[in-house]
Amino acid sequence: MKDGIRHPWEAAPHEGEAIRVAEGILWLRLPLPMALDHVNIYALDDGIGWTLIDAGLASKRSKVIWEKLLNGPLAGKPVTRVILTHHHPDHVGLVGWFQARGAELLATRTAWLYARMLTLDVQDRPSPEAMTYFRRAGLTETELAKRATERPFNFADIVEPMPVGFTRIVEGQRLRVGGRDWTVRIGHGHAPDHATLWSDDGIVLGGDQLLPGISANIGVYPTEPEADPLTEWLDSCQAFTAHARDDQLILPGHKLPFHGLPFRLGQMIENHESALVRMLDHLATPRTASDCFLPLFRREIAAAEHGLALVETVAHLNCLLQRGQVSRSLSAAGAWEWARI
């Protein structure tokens, strides 16, 4: 037993192929053009068709792979439903594509609203609020000038248009999917109102709320700069412990399926609590968010990782602020300088 987590499968399905992980459940995988180079999709057999858990991001390559999957492992049966775990592009990207083919979308209201809103929000340059966020985080004048002239990432670049209309799922709701009865349990922190599904026979569809080996990004963004998603994440991990058993099969949004959820939940809590302690020690001297990468991540951050590192750093600082352990004040340059109390 490695670190209290066991993986029933040592390797993921190859592109265009599937692995049967339980009666009526296929594990599929789609590529992502980033360091985390894949997303897991699960297809649940409803007899007359399939229910998908998430859909992957929108790209020509993803659609080619989906056609291969639909005609191969999914045996030509239609996708009749998609259950969205959360609104991030690698999960919602092709939901609209399946809806256009007749699939029903099930999602939390917040996840659908975020996805729908973001697909309609296309910007050629960063908003004034985004530039204020970057300044408050301590970016240099050179970095700020560069960002001000660059087209930012737009959700619609890799997410298909979202048709109007969905079916809402809520905390505690019971669903019949793939020949099993499931309970919806909602988590927070990585994404607002993130849906997980827990079957009566010990299978958990965890999305990005329940990942092995890697930490889901917990970020604060210009849309809600005073948010405290890390406290929400820690509270969700604690709440899930009441339902977690060591023998449950966890089907995550990334990496490999695993057993050992109680251990993993405790590990995720401890990882962030330890990071907060390191951050607090680092703030014995006042610093900006941009000065706090090393104690949080314990390694140098490459340029390609800077955006995710920045939003996660602000999340940890906001958590410490809400706990009353740090204070902040604006520098002459307009950056928040954070200091331990």
What pLDDT does 269 receive? 98
Instruction: Report which of 38, 36, 39, 41 is spatially closest to residue 18, judged by C-alpha positions.
Output: 41
What pLDDT does 41 receive? 98
Beta carbons within 10 angstroms of residue 263's beta carbon:
17
Q: Are 39 and 208 in contact (CB under 8 A)?
A: no
Using CA atoms, how far apart are residues 274 and 272, in angstroms rounded to an integer? Answer: 5
Q: What is the per-residue pLDDT across 220-241, written as a single tens digit (0 to 9) for each?
A: 999 999 999 999 999 999 999 9
What pLDDT does 303 receive? 87
Question: In which residue are the tokens 């000038």 written?
Answer: 145
Tell me which DSSP letter residue 47 carries.
S
| Cross-strand bridge partners of residue 161 | none
Beta carbons within 10 angstroms of residue 180's beta carbon:
17
Q: Are 43 and 270 in contact (CB under 8 A)?
A: no
Using CA atoms, how far apart are residues 83 and 67, in angstroms rounded to an integer? Answer: 19
Which CATH fold would you assign to the domain 19-276?
Metallo-beta-lactamase; Chain A (3.60.15)
pTM of this structure:
0.96
Tell me which DSSP letter residue 81 carries.
E
Using CA atoms, how far apart are residues 135 and 143, in angstroms rounded to an integer? Answer: 9
Q: Are 144 and 113 in contact (CB under 8 A)?
A: no
Q: What is the per-residue pLDDT across 307-319, written as a single tens digit (0 to 9) for each?
A: 999 999 999 999 9
Residue 93 CB-density burial (10 A; 0-12 exposed, 13-18 middle, 19+ buried)? buried
Question: Mean pLDDT for each consecutive 10-residue tract of the chain (341 residues)?
Answer: 82 97 98 94 98 98 98 97 98 98 98 97 96 98 96 96 97 98 98 98 98 96 97 98 98 98 98 98 98 94 92 98 98 97 96
Question: In which residue are the tokens 């029903």 written?
Answer: 104
- State which H helix or E strand residue 100 sits in: helix 95-100
What pLDDT does 1 receive? 41
Structure tokens at 211: 């990942």
What pLDDT does 3 receive? 58
What pLDDT does 304 receive? 86
**Taking the domains of the chain in order of start, what are their residue ranges?**
19-276
